[in-house]
Amino acid sequence: KTPIALIQGYAEGLKECINDDAESRDFYCEVIMDEAAKMNNMVKKLLTLNHLESGKDAIVFERFDLTKLVRSVVNSAELLADQKGAKILFDETESHYVWADEFKTEEVVTNYVSNALHHLDGEKIVEIKVQKQEDRVKVTVFNTGTPIPEADLPNLWNKFYKVDKARTREYGGSGIGLSIVKAIMEGMNQQYGVQNFDNGVEFWFTLDRK
């Protein structure tokens, strides 16, 4: 069911007093609040994507330390990782300065890390690397788990695309996060992608060194 359908159903249940005890009422309210929060997050992402695709959200290039940015995202994700019994590995200590939009780059890293944490399996490890290339820096975010069917890989970047049509949840939660990644990276004329491994999946992107 969609968040709106769930909100409607549980609100109707409250109105009709399906459950008289306080514990059940609290549960109904919690479901409504949780689903409303999901809808709010989805709408925010859609607005972000709309601005990016329409060109209204201009790219602001600046020089910044990519390693520091990734470390900040990792620190923010540690609580969610702990809740999932997962481990985030990020051992890079060297500064890597790039020329890009810092705010939008943070959005990309956050989306990749969030995806990784939501699709963990096996050892439940997320490993992030920052690799220096000739004139670019490549960031990879790998998570242990089930590889994505090869036929689905090119379509992951499409809005609301479902890897498995039998599932109720799209890859990436709302199915919008990877579309935002695509719009941001193409707006900065940079490369991005995904690669399967026997024990998991790796998402990546590049930025110009500066």
Q: What is the pLDDT of residues 88-97, one digit of tens each?
A: 999 999 999 9
Look at residue 22 and give its three-state secondary structure.
Answer: helix
The pairs formed by 8-14 with CB atoms below 8 angstroms and a separation of 24 or more are 10/35
Query: 147 — phi, psi (to 5°)?
Result: -60, 150
Alpha carbons 38 and 44: distance in angstroms, whole number: 10
pLDDT of residue 169: 40
pLDDT of residue 73: 95
The CA-based angle 121-122-124, given to 5 degrees, is 65
pLDDT of residue 116: 94
Pairing mode, strands 87-89 and 125-132: parallel
pLDDT of residue 165: 44
Tokens for 12? 């109707």
Q: For the chain, which residues score pLDDT lower than 50?
A: 165-173
The pairs formed by 32-38 with CB atoms below 8 angstroms and a separation of 24 or more are 32/6, 32/7, 35/3, 35/4, 35/6, 35/7, 35/10, 36/3, 36/7, 38/3, 38/174
pLDDT of residue 168: 35
Tokens for 151? 């036929």
**CA-to-CA separations, 34 to 6, 29, 30, 38, 41, in angstroms, rounded:** 10, 9, 6, 6, 11
Alpha carbons 171 and 149: distance in angstroms, whole number: 12
Tokens for 78? 């540690």
Write b or e for each residue in 118-146: b if 16 or more Cβ atoms lie within 10 A of its Cβ, otherwise e.
bbbeeeebbbbbbeeeeeebebbbbbbbe
